[in-house]
Amino acid sequence: MAPSVGKSVPRVDGPAKVAGSARYVDDLVLPGMLHGATVRSDVARGRLLGVDLDPAFDWSGITVVTADDVPVNAVPIIETDQPVLAKDEIRHAYEPVALLACEDRLRLEKALRHVTLRVEPLPPVLTIDDALAAREVIRPPDNVFKRYLMTKGRGGAAVDGCEVVVRGVYESGAQEHVYIEPNGMIAFWDDDGAHVEGSLQCPYYVQKGVKGVFGLPDDGVDVTQAVTGGGFGGKEEYPTLLALHALLLAKKSGRPVKLIYGRQEDVEASTKRHPSRVEIASGCDRDGTLRSVSIRVLFDGGAYVTLTPVVLSRGALHACGAYRWEDVTVEAIAVATNTPPNGAFRGFGAPQTVWAIERHMDRVARTLGIDPMELRRKNLLRLGDTTATGQTLKESVGVQECVEKAMAASGFTQKRARGPVVTGRVARGIGASVFLHGAGFTGSGEKYLKGRVAVDLLPGSRARVRTASTDIGQGTETVFRQIAADALGVAVDAVDFAVPSTRHVPDSGPTVASRTVMVVGSIVEKAASALRVRVGEEATVSGVSREAAWDRLAADPGRATALVQYEPPPGVVWDDATYSGDAYPAYGWACDVAEVEVDLDTFETKVTGFWAAVDVGRVVNPILCAGQVEGGTLQAIGWALTEKLVTRDGKILNPRMTNYIVPTSLDAPPFTTILVEAPYSRGPGGAKGVGELPMDGGAPAVAAAIEHATGLVLDRVPLLPEDLFEASLKGDAR
């Protein structure tokens, strides 16, 4: 059987999604089902005095749930500060306070208008600066959720003694995921316990939440992933809340309940990318050799802790970029504000700090008067170098090749040297970024997680992969089949993929952190290889054909399955206390080049070309892999150029797709994607993560290109035409 890894096997889930036969959660109907809805606060901060139901309204057939109905009113994520339903305190403007369910959606809609919340408003904390000033304390003692300090060498103290010192402040705004399918969940109870099915990334996260709130054992909670229309991290921690809400309504009503968010409710209430401010002071020699850097990272965590400490950690660990520094200090702080909790989003903190360090590299190059890519090349991490956490890079560093290929393909050097090209009222420029992204969980994460995968032999030389890794549109189903098929020596279509449900898949860990192929894929490979050996041995021992041996094993429940647990690579050492050691088992590397045209009358920016050279270790499926790169890059271009979340008093003013503007295919530049393979010895076939990497470098490359075209130095995304206009009025030209 010819290997399938390395081939563009068509997506297995594609036909059903294209033909419309795939069943998403809103397509599911259960007998006697009620529709659920959420009553939310509309002030950012306040004391909840009461929930009043209009006595004049007919409440028959309507189920009402409040905090009093919640067994343990705390969503267990990292901490337990977030209530399932607010009881006394309102901490953001879309805080869920009560739940309603009714068979008739129109009556439900009317009932919502007859619930009144009595709230005594309090002054809200709405920005990072408000939070740090701590005039109002919403998270004792100082509004800080989490603080990290990371040092290397003499720390940032050496900056001031350097020949050339450059300082800069870089900011980024919130970003909404805009997955095509909003959040949704359907729930019911029976003698076995709680059942939920919905749009989600991490079945075992939801299970943990339900167990904690309802006090149930593992086998009392069944969580199943419905076909999911995109996640990007937005369905990592948030669906737990929906599952809890749907289950509360189902429990009280004794009926199945479906809870589906409309787009506006989804944009308002669900998580966003953390807004950030990053302050950098760096020192280097006159020839551009980087020496020392001092970085302060500030993230706005929103109202509750959720995943903020981990997002902040990844942000801090990527803050020094893909470069060698002798001395480093990174201080990272996440603060509490009265905005909806910010959470997981593709890149998970790294896009914010990569944006900052890459813009800073351009600033250093400008100060020194040298080409920005020359500066980067001079200081790139190489094999054998140590990173800011003191990790020695022992293998799989393809960054040099990425830089060379992206620059050659785009003609960067010539175009850059030529200067901005102005034709009529349109200026054209080119810019680049170089970056890395740690694949898999940070530090000791995978060691604690102990992800597991099962592969089963089925009759007729077929097999089935059972894993909690979900396909949310990225192609997991397809690439896991490829990996298992090659390890078993069968065709891809001889491998099935079990619907992820906690009832019958082992806990492989969450579908996050670019870990699916690299970590879970390696367990799939190991389990499938074990079965191949088992089949061979059975054939030898019993003197039967391979097919007969396969069927024999498939019929024997004791021998049909290989259940394998992840073993972290030996020699990986991480110290959480000092924040030093091997931060990630491997890194993806990349170089992005963007070419833009800026209309000098309207300040519209059009990305006219984009080149990405990406080191993914080993390409499992070229089309899917390039799809990740292009999709992630377009999401980064959206963050850079169009996606601006406008808020006032903690409320979102543009929570709709008519005014929160994501790029369409017309805004997508022609992509040239170059896949580089510097294999990682522990990934399946050498593969590393690719899901998040392309989100990191698009924004700084685009900003650098705009700067090249117009001379405007822009240190804050997003960059809408009005932002460029404002910058031009301020004379931010170099």
Partner 1 sequence: MSVAGLALHPFTAPRNLPEALGLLAERAARNEKTVLLAGGTDWFVERHVAPPETEGTLPLVVDVSRLEGLRGVSLDGDTLRVGAGVTYLELRKDPRVVARGPLLAAMARDVGALQIQARGTLAGNLASGSPAADGVCALAALDATLLLRSVRGARRVPLSGFYTGYRKSVLAPDELIEAIEIALPPAGSPFAWRKVGTRQAQAISKVALAALAVVENGRAPASASAWPPSRRRWLSSPRRGRSGCRARSRRSPPPISSAPSSRTSPRSTTSARPPPTGATSPSRSSRGSSRGSRSGIFPAGAGLTPFGLRATGRLQWRLLRASE
- Which residues contribute to the site for partner 1 (CB under 8 A)? 105-106, 109-110, 113, 262, 264, 418-422, 424-425, 427, 600-604, 606, 642, 644, 646, 648, 653-656, 658-659, 661-664, 666-667, 709-712, 720-722, 725-726, 728-729, 731, 733-734
Any idea what the Cα angle at residue 122 is, between residues 118 and 123, rounded to 5°? 150
Residue 270: phi and psi, rounded to 5, are -85, 175
Neighbours of 658 (CB within 10 A): 7
Decide: residue 533, CB within 10 A, 0-12 exposed, 13-18 middle, 19+ buried: exposed
Nearest approach in angstroms of CB 710 to partner 1 is 5
Decide: residue 225, CB within 10 A, 0-12 exposed, 13-18 middle, 19+ buried: buried
Nearest approach in angstroms of CB 41 to partner 1 is 14
Contacts of 708 by beta carbon, 8 Å cutoff, 6+ apart: 416, 419, 420, 429, 430, 431
Structure tokens at 650: 């903690």
- Helix (H/G/I), strand (E/B), else coil: 167: strand
Q: Which run of H or E residues covers position 412?
A: helix 412-418
Q: Which is nearer to partner 1, 492 or 706 (CB)?
A: 706
Q: Which is nearer to partner 1, 623 or 662 (CB)?
A: 662
Q: Which is nearer to partner 1, 50 or 424 (CB)?
A: 424
* DSSP structure class, residue 227: B
Neighbours of 513 (CB within 10 A): 27
Amino acid at 341: P
Nearest approach in angstroms of CB 653 to partner 1 is 4
Distance (Å, rounded) from C-alpha 680 to C-alpha 276?
Answer: 32
Q: Which is nearer to partner 1, 247 or 724 (CB)?
A: 724
Nearest approach in angstroms of CB 421 to partner 1 is 6
Q: Which is nearer to partner 1, 655 or 694 (CB)?
A: 655
Q: For the chain, report the end-to-end CA distance as a whole number of angstroms.
A: 60
CA distances from 283 to 11, 56, 330, 365, 377 (A): 48, 70, 14, 12, 17
Decide: residue 522, CB within 10 A, 0-12 exposed, 13-18 middle, 19+ buried: buried
Q: Which is nearer to partner 1, 35 or 324 (CB)?
A: 35
Nearest approach in angstroms of CB 171 to partner 1 is 15
Distance (Å, rounded) from C-alpha 362 to C-alpha 697?
Answer: 13
CA distances from 397 to 402, 521, 676 (A): 10, 21, 10
Place of tokens 């809400």: 245
Nearest approach in angstroms of CB 185 to partner 1 is 20
How many alpha carbons fall within 13 Å on the CB side of residue 453? 29
Q: Which is nearer to partner 1, 171 or 456 (CB)?
A: 171
Compute the Cα dihedral for 714, 718, 720, 726 and give only its sign.
negative
Nearest approach in angstroms of CB 726 to partner 1 is 6
Nearest approach in angstroms of CB 643 to partner 1 is 9
Pairing of strands 561-565, 452-458: antiparallel
Nearest approach in angstroms of CB 470 to partner 1 is 28
Place of tokens 């969450």: 510
Neighbours of 448 (CB within 10 A): 10
Nearest approach in angstroms of CB 117 to partner 1 is 12
Nearest approach in angstroms of CB 116 to partner 1 is 11
Distance (Å, rounded) from C-alpha 248 to C-alpha 721?
Answer: 46
Residue 242: phi and psi, rounded to 5, are -65, -40
Q: Which is nearer to partner 1, 60 or 658 (CB)?
A: 658
Nearest approach in angstroms of CB 301 to partner 1 is 24
Q: Which is nearer to partner 1, 18 or 657 (CB)?
A: 657
Q: Which is nearer to partner 1, 264 or 386 (CB)?
A: 264
Contacts of 694 by beta carbon, 8 Å cutoff, 6+ apart: 590, 612, 614, 628, 629, 630, 631, 632, 633, 636
Q: Which is nearer to partner 1, 378 or 606 (CB)?
A: 606
Q: Which is nearer to partner 1, 325 or 603 (CB)?
A: 603
Q: Which is nearer to partner 1, 386 or 728 (CB)?
A: 728
Q: Which is nearer to partner 1, 54 or 493 (CB)?
A: 54
Nearest approach in angstroms of CB 722 to partner 1 is 4
Nearest approach in angstroms of CB 42 to partner 1 is 10
